[in-house]
Structure 1
């Protein structure tokens, strides 16, 4: 195994892991997962046995060297997720495909992008998503069969079973750069998901306390699962410890059923939304 991490000038951690048995010649049997963020992208390669072969983070403006070499390979499937709030949920039991156009009233539809429809079967919902064409165009040209999802969907795919099997209220908090995604489950039911842009802990605290009050969970001290750009004893972790019952960092490998190597265990919560893509269909 080869594993490299370092802090760069921006204080963000650049990470690269490559399995010793990763074989570029077998790329046509692998699945490529890509997460597009505002200031950091990430990619992962998973084989047919659900083993992680490669994971890396990189600057969106720099796709040179090894990252470029990876993106030049051909894969069995390519899945991408990107942040942004151009999505809405519709209960599967009432979803009417011919009425899709009417659902677009819940999205900032500018008529310039296509709307994709996908499922989260375990939650019984359809997700309507409008990917930003300017962000995805270069990858869509490179991979014509690329399938695009909202990062919120990738997160929900990963945590659905965790939330649905708990007999306690559960709050999922994922942070990527300035974007925070919050999902909630109560009494083994999915009850909430949304994303917010936050400028600091004051914004974060305002949104989270408002959500808890809105959901009637302010006195419940829900279990809290943290993922993304959250570290031990940072401000978000301390907020969770003060407002939650059991607080854990996401066990991404177990949640998405991908074998994560020992070297990545301390940082695997950072990749929940990336690896959650593997469950998106």
Structure 2
């Protein structure tokens, strides 16, 4: 039985992807900072599928996390066929008033962890006649988004990085894809500290994490470059290119501008890697 590694797997899209991979017969290696939720996901997936599930509670932003992960997975490298870089989170607020520590931590999770894990596992994936690497972006990648600034920029990086990596590996056995989800029914808006008004707007367009997970896995195994689940998200990807950037930024700024600006905190909130 082949194995799949999924980060940010305790909740949300990561859990939806893990559930679909289990349905398709993969054993699972799941990572998330939320140990309690991760244990619950393990119990659920093992009881509803024939898959074996191993878990590692870990914050991907901490020093040494890459070495911890690669050491933990080393005994399964001959069977590891799928790697899903899903872990990530956002912060809603002005760049100036959000704490620098939190924003740099977000870059560590959204960018550095994906790059590090991709670099570490490409040689492992190349051992197989066919293998798959999926990085997870966001529809915010298609434009600058004021008050969701660093998050959107990090997801633009993810898409650019993944497409370039796919080209470099096109002659190899590794198929590289990027999932670009929009509003999904996860804890993302709460972790990002978005206003109630933004939450209500998001709810109108929310997709279920399980549906996003199914679309993601199906697109990954079909070898798609960009996997954009849902018609409204496809439109979100398509239309901004036809409008001036300043116009699109004005709309984004109006949507995401906090009613009350966040105050810098010396003690940033705990990072939840399970949301998207």
TM-score, length basis structure 2: 0.30
Q: Which has the higher strand share?
A: 1
Higher RCO (C-alpha 8 Å, min separation 6): 2
Q: Which has the higher helix share?
A: 2
TM-score, length basis structure 1: 0.29
